[in-house]
Chains A and B, each alone.
Chain A
Amino acid sequence: MTSVPTVAPVLDAGSLASQLKELAAGLGIERWDLGAACSTDTSVQVDRGEAKQLKGAQRSSITVRVWNAAGLVGITSTSDLSPAGLARALDGAHAASAYGNADDTPAFSPLATAPLQTLDQPLQEPVGILSLLATLKQAESELLSRHEAISTVPYNGLAQRASDRIYLNSAGACRQQRLSTASLYLYARAEQAGRKPRSSGAVRLAYGASQLDLAGCIDEAAERTISHLDYAPIDTGYYTCVFSPEAFLDLIGAFSSVFNARSVLDGVSLSSRESLGEQLAVPFLSIHDNGLHPGNVGAALFDGEGTPVQRLALVDGGVLRHFMHSEATARVFGVAPTGHAGLGAKVSVGANWLEIGPGSSSSGATGLDRLKADGVVWIDSLSALHAGVKPSQGSFSLPFDGWLIRVGETRSIEAATVAGDIRSVLTSVLGFEGPAKITPAGLCPHVWVEGLSITGDA
């Protein structure tokens, strides 16, 4: 059998800058910037011991942004990094700039040449795809052997990526970051006679396929799937809920427009410009965005405008402290960009990696232990966030997997949704349980919230 190594891609920032400078001069464009990326991916999926899908991909993309003589901005994106592709992209961006928004024109980030923090992100050599396949077959086999009810692992994948990303501008900024990452996901399906199928799983990330925590992923997928086999319906009503770290991070992430300056300026956030300094949550809750946390595998060192990523206090002591910014929104608010920008004519803003937990002064209720509680709903994972969350309204109604705990007995819930308002959730946090856990989306302990509406067996 042939092992097929992947090739780590490399962008030539100097060459791209030279080409663009020359092409821009030909069009009379004096001011431009560019974001480019390329990657090589390999991935495998298996199905009951056989290869289900083997995939490889070489991708490249570039976004060129130009300022025309009137100072208006236009962009164009392409996958064609050839000189002809660059010329067409530059021409397209120049044409689009005629429709630039004079009321909201981005500029170069003042931090696009500021020093970047160094992270320990070891570049790992990719392994051959047949080696990935053998590893995933073994992982599937082990997971299937954990319980007789686990009949398939219908959603699974082992993937690795080598990538290179740059940001350049006509004022001399030049950022570049190379990364290698790998991911494993295993979602098992368990079925018992006369009962509904149940499914759950686990995910792991690392800088290379050989660093992935396979055993941990198998253990977690098995444990979670098996724990949902003995299920029962839950009565509709109001419950105290304990969110897993993953579930609470998902919920806060879905409402991150609360902290997003772009959304504030667009009038689609629950926050307004005057909200900074307001008490948003219980006084012992803090939320930081920290894309540079060592637990954030594959962290970006700079955002789409070249601004360094940083740790930013969004909520501290329950008070809304800062918004996430691009260059343009930061200029409106009179602050510095925060490293949360994309690259566009209208620049998007988004969170990187959230840290949620107690503040420095107070931690809320102490000694919380869900396994000794009575009448508490433990929410393991939330689904359908794209559909069940109304960020501009604050409301959510989401299906979840979880357990009802009664007098210390834990039993999986058959099917239910949890509904509420994010503003009420933030002021109804009772406290935190256990140490914070590192997840792909951030860092968070279990979070107790009072009085949420659960719809189950109505």
Chain B
Amino acid sequence: MAAGRAAGATLVEVFLESTDHIGLLAEQDRITNVSPAFGKGAGIRVFRGEQDGFVSTNDLSDRGLIAALEQALGMLGLEPSSAARGAFDGLCELRDFGATKNGWLAACPSLGDATSRLLEGTALLDRHGQHLQARRGSYARDWQEVMVAASDGTFARDIRLHQSVGLNALAADGEHRASQGRRYGSTDRPDDLLRWDAEASATDLCASAKAMLHADYVEAGSYPVVLANRFGGVIFHEACGHLLETTQVERGTTPFADQVGSPIAHPAVTAVDEGLSNEAFGSLSMDDEGMEPKRTVLIENGVLKRFLSDRAGELRTGHARTGSGRRQSHAFAAASRMRNTFIAAGPHSPADLIGSVERGLYCKSMGGGSVGPTGQFNFAVEEGYLIENGQLGRPVKGATLIGEAKEVLPRISMCADDLELAAGFCGSVSGSIFVTVGQPHIKVDSITVGGR
């Protein structure tokens, strides 16, 4: 940092990382893959005004780090100064968020315990399922120790622990096929796998697979849609949440850039992003720029309140940092990213929402989706049911929800009182990160449903 500052950089940030990962796969009644991985690396980011250069390396030797720094300086047209190779004395006292977490890695389940739990899960699928052609269980444990130091005095360390376990099944009966999956994840709890309710997960999954196996294709059209709670929140995350990151403001790709203080959604909608919920997948003690996370109200009663911002976002857009600077690893520069993002609970019951629809679609389980560069989103419905005269009807498959955030947010007219969160992964400019999505049951008055 001394060398970087002496060369003319306005800010130098060093991100150091050590990782330890285990991935397990069980298929049918066998463990078929055990894949441990570990590594170390550094990411060095140099700012010159609003511009920055970023270099990552696996070479943590003095020579490797200096080479990375000099490459980053060169990107900004800065020459290393041979005069400054001394220690940097501008760091604050270390804020060690990891001090109480040093024993976490050792406290995680052994390979033997983890494999046993996974095999328990695939055995439960066999017990509860019908027509199951393939059964899979998977477990991932990601341990990460990070240290952030920056020439503005930032000096912080943390240890993160994320664990997730999932079950998947493919049901087949003649030409009919249905695949379903369930994933559960948490952070900061070493014994998490041991408290996983495999029975509930397998029972739920098998019920869905059974319902969907002989389902007909949904008819394309525009319908009122009721989205279930938990992972239904993926649509808000993808279609709206990303548009409220300052990276989108910088690119000029959000329609909400100058809408703070203006209504952008139905008054029934309040949306929050935070990194504080206990054990939630997107929670953090500090972000990847050393800042403690905040609770950020994005939309309140339909009115846009603020954006999620990181260090570069604050510099370039003026939106104050929110503790949202996140990255997959040392190989990425931090960017403004979501953490635990959800639509807040409303006053209704789920039955109220379904009862208000004469003919529409109930999306019990959502698959993945995407948002295009112009804001158009597209999400697969994994488990859907027709709503007829306010009652749930027959299951339907092949449904895709299509729309644009700007058009759909004003149509979220009812929110139920059953907010729940679900663990997920988000891929974007700074890599794949752990997040939580969530919502109560919500009703969208009209949305395009792709089908056959």
Number of interface residues of B (CB under 8 A): 75
With A54-B53, A56-B56 known to touch, is A346 a contact of B133 (CB < 8 Å)?
Answer: no
Q: Is the CB of A395 within 8 A of B51?
A: no
Nearest opposing residue in chain B for A92, CB measure: B36
Task: Let me know if A103 is at the binding interface, CB within 8 A.
Answer: yes
Cβ contacts B408-452/A at 8 Å (1 or 0 each): 000000000000000000000000000000000000000011111
Task: Let me know if B54 is at the binding interface, CB within 8 A.
Answer: yes
Q: List 21 A-B contacts (CB under 8 A).
A: A53-B333, A54-B54, A57-B55, A57-B56, A58-B56, A75-B34, A77-B37, A98-B111, A130-B74, A199-B372, A267-B133, A345-B32, A387-B370, A388-B378, A393-B179, A394-B177, A397-B398, A397-B400, A398-B378, A419-B220, A455-B451
Task: Let me know if B205 is at the binding interface, CB within 8 A.
Answer: no
- 14 new A-B contacts at CB < 8 Å, known A80-B58, A266-B134: A54-B52, A56-B71, A57-B57, A79-B39, A80-B39, A154-B251, A189-B252, A197-B375, A266-B27, A267-B170, A268-B170, A387-B380, A393-B178, A419-B451
Within 8 A of B (CB), among A85-138: 88-89, 92-93, 95-96, 98-101, 103-104, 129-130
B370 contacts across to A, CB distance below 8 A: 383-384, 386-387, 399
Chain A interface: which size bin? Answer: 35 or more
B71 contacts across to A, CB distance below 8 A: 4, 56, 129
Q: Is the CB of A199 within 8 A of B373?
A: yes
Task: Let me know if B376 is at the binding interface, CB within 8 A.
Answer: yes
A448 contacts across to B, CB distance below 8 A: none
Within 8 A of A (CB), among B67-111: 68, 70-79, 111
CA–CA, A267 and B30, complex, Å: 14
Task: Let me know if B355 is at the binding interface, CB within 8 A.
Answer: no
Q: Is the CB of B378 within 8 A of A392?
A: no
A74 contacts across to B, CB distance below 8 A: 34
Cβ contacts B346-379/A at 8 Å (1 or 0 each): 0000000000000000000001111011111011
Task: Let me know if A59 is at the binding interface, CB within 8 A.
Answer: yes
Task: Let me know if A152 is at the binding interface, CB within 8 A.
Answer: yes
Within 8 A of A (CB), among B38-53: 38-41, 51-53
CA–CA, A307 and B402, complex, Å: 44
CA–CA, A81 and B60, complex, Å: 11
A100 contacts across to B, CB distance below 8 A: 34
CA–CA, A78 and B41, complex, Å: 11
CB of B435 to closest CB in A, whole Å: 16
CA–CA, A312 and B292, complex, Å: 54
CA–CA, A79 and B398, complex, Å: 41
Task: Let me know if B286 is at the binding interface, CB within 8 A.
Answer: no
Cβ contacts B7-44/A at 8 Å (1 or 0 each): 00000000000000000010100111111111111000
Cβ contacts B205-238/A at 8 Å (1 or 0 each): 0000000000000001110000000000000000
A383 contacts across to B, CB distance below 8 A: 370, 372, 378
Nearest opposing residue in chain A for B369, CB measure: A387
CA–CA, A189 and B375, complex, Å: 11
Q: Is the CB of B51 within 8 A of A417?
A: no
Within 8 A of B (CB), among A28-59: 47, 50-59
Task: Let me know if A68 is at the binding interface, CB within 8 A.
Answer: no
Cβ contacts B252-263/A at 8 Å (1 or 0 each): 110000000000
Task: Let me know if A187 is at the binding interface, CB within 8 A.
Answer: yes
B55 contacts across to A, CB distance below 8 A: 55-58
Q: Is the CB of B39 within 8 A of A399?
A: no
CA–CA, A53 and B312, complex, Å: 11
Task: Let me know if A1 is at the binding interface, CB within 8 A.
Answer: yes
- The answer, among A79, A99, A458, for a CB contact under 8 Å with B41, is A79
Q: Is the CB of A101 within 8 A of B31?
A: yes
Task: Let me know if A198 is at the binding interface, CB within 8 A.
Answer: yes
CB of A329 to closest CB in B, whole Å: 13
CA–CA, A75 and B21, complex, Å: 12
Task: Let me know if A60 is at the binding interface, CB within 8 A.
Answer: yes
CA–CA, A235 and B56, complex, Å: 50
Q: Is the CB of A56 within 8 A of B54?
A: yes
B39 contacts across to A, CB distance below 8 A: 61, 78-80
Q: Is the CB of A130 within 8 A of B77?
A: yes
Q: Is the CB of A75 within 8 A of B448?
A: no
- The answer, among B220, B333, B375, B404, for a CB contact under 8 Å with A458, is B220
CA–CA, A26 and B288, complex, Å: 40
CA–CA, A390 and B58, complex, Å: 37
Task: Let me know if B322 is at the binding interface, CB within 8 A.
Answer: no
Within 8 A of A (CB), among B119-174: 133-134, 170
Task: Let me know if B387 is at the binding interface, CB within 8 A.
Answer: no
With A4-B74, A56-B68, A268-B170 known to touch, is A101 a contact of B30 (CB < 8 Å)?
Answer: yes
CA–CA, A77 and B33, complex, Å: 13
B77 contacts across to A, CB distance below 8 A: 1-2, 130
A344 contacts across to B, CB distance below 8 A: 33, 35
CA–CA, A72 and B133, complex, Å: 26
Task: Let me know if B115 is at the binding interface, CB within 8 A.
Answer: yes
